[in-house]
Amino acid sequence: MDVMFNIEMIKSLMKTDPAAAAVKINEFIEKQNNTPLNIAITGESGSGKSTFINYFRGMKNDDEGAAPTGVTETTVDVKEYPHPKYPNVIFSDLPGIGTTKFPADKYLELVELEKFDFFVIISNTRFRENDVKLAKEIQKMEKKFYFVRSKIDNDLQAEARGKRNFNEQETLQKIRSDCIQGLQKEGFDSPQVFLLCSFDLHLYDFPLLHETLERDLSELKRRALLMAMPNISLEVINEKKKALHSKIKYLAAASAVGAAAPVPELSFAVDIGVIAAAVTRYVLSFRLDIPSLKRLANTTDVPYDDLKQVILSPLVGVNITPELIMTVLGQLASVASLMAREEAFRYIPIIGIPAAAAFSFAGTYKALSHFLNMLAEDAERVFKRALGLNSSE
């Protein structure tokens, strides 16, 4: 959290200058939601980098705006692919180092490597000379890079063909060891190689890559990555829930600021507006919007209707409007009571406005916590249904 911002400071500022408090809250929320994250992806043509970029962005290879795929394609310029739901997260496909247009001695300057937060170097075989050159240039800049060995599913299928005693874990370890030994010969002391299948990011080493990235990034960059991350595991869903819950107090403070304004019914409108906007973000973060659910159905071969059947929340698959929020809140007696008290206390002299602000804060906090828990549980059920997991797993 920003050390210059805390909830106690906002509470104090609300008493003396509600307008300034509102500005501070909005600035903080904006910063949290729009922290830029620039991810560089590089590798030889056909290595699987475009599929990796597309899957991470929640897109299929043939979707409009997807990174082009194909073994004959060559990246001749830096190509940027913003995440469709989180445009602050940008994936950049880098051209190869040492080409005529990007000679090794000018690569850093021409590609502007310093602007990237980290680098993913992808290969579907062994890591090549150009991969090594780039990694060494990144090392000089003291930035993070990660070796990814892609298309592991193809290797496993080829290795298993015609064998009676095929052992998947032994094969994976052999591939990993071969990659590491090759990189050690190139001068990397303790390289870490992540084995992935871009079509099934929940398999193999992607969860480990995610954990490593989270450990290496700053708090705001880590949050940006998490929100853009596909739901590759129940742990990721739970981390999203925790991250979103940690911001509820600031959203509730924004509602309380609205309650501090002596305008009838303004506070209620602010409360509902804040809740509706937050719930919309929750649905997107948990990939419960219709396009994401249909894409999940296509990639897992689980019918879309089957995924929808496990969703219990009335907030999925519909337009999140203030009217819908009001209808659902009407079914939550504790929240409705807090909001009613907020309006009732507003007209009491001296103590009325502070009391209304307190009820507004409590009501919005309780409502958002309820909706967040509800949607997180839906996301878990959808994930388990998509992967054929039973409720005990």
Mean per-residue pLDDT, 277-283: 92
Query: In this structure, is residue 370 part of a structural domain?
Result: yes
d(CA 154, CA 157): 5
Burial class (CB in 10 A: 0-12, 13-18, 19+), 51: buried
Query: Tell me, what CATH number does 195's domain have?
Result: 3.40.50.300
Domain limit, last residue, from 203, 230, 257:
230
88 and 212 both lie in a single domain = yes
348 and 205 both lie in a single domain = no
* DSSP state for residue 119 in the 8-state scheme: E
252 and 356 both lie in a single domain = yes
Residue entry with tokens 């979103």: 244
Residue 71 has pLDDT above 60, yes or no: no
125 and 138 both lie in a single domain = yes
pTM comes to 0.81
Helix residue spans in 62-128 (DSSP H): 107-111
Summarised one tens digit per residue, pLDDT across range 330-356 is 777 665 555 555 554 455 544 445 566
Query: In this structure, is residue 392 part of a structural domain?
Result: no
Domain limit, last residue, from 230, 253, 274:
230
Query: In this structure, is residue 189 part of a structural domain?
Result: yes
Query: In this structure, is residue 2 part of a structural domain?
Result: no
Summarised one tens digit per residue, pLDDT across range 352-367 is 455 667 777 888 888 8
Query: In this structure, is residue 362 part of a structural domain?
Result: yes
Q: Which residue has the higher pLDDT, 294 or 104?
A: 294
154: its two tokens: 């193809």
Query: In this structure, is residue 309 part of a structural domain?
Result: yes
- Span of 118-132, 247-261, 281-295 with lowest mean pLDDT: 247-261
165 and 278 both lie in a single domain = no
Q: How many domains does the chain have?
A: 2
Residue 384 has pLDDT above 80, yes or no: yes
204 and 99 both lie in a single domain = yes
Helix (H, G, I), strand (E, B) or coil at 186: coil
Domain limit, last residue, from 212, 230, 248:
230
214 and 246 both lie in a single domain = no
150 and 51 both lie in a single domain = yes
220 and 334 both lie in a single domain = no
Percent of the chain with pLDDT over 70: 79
214 and 285 both lie in a single domain = no
Give the strand order in the sheet containing 193-195.
79-82, 89-93, 37-43, 118-123, 144-149, 193-195
Query: In this structure, is residue 149 part of a structural domain?
Result: yes
48 and 197 both lie in a single domain = yes
Residue 367: give the domain boundaries. 7-33+239-387
d(CA 193, CA 206): 11
185 and 263 both lie in a single domain = no
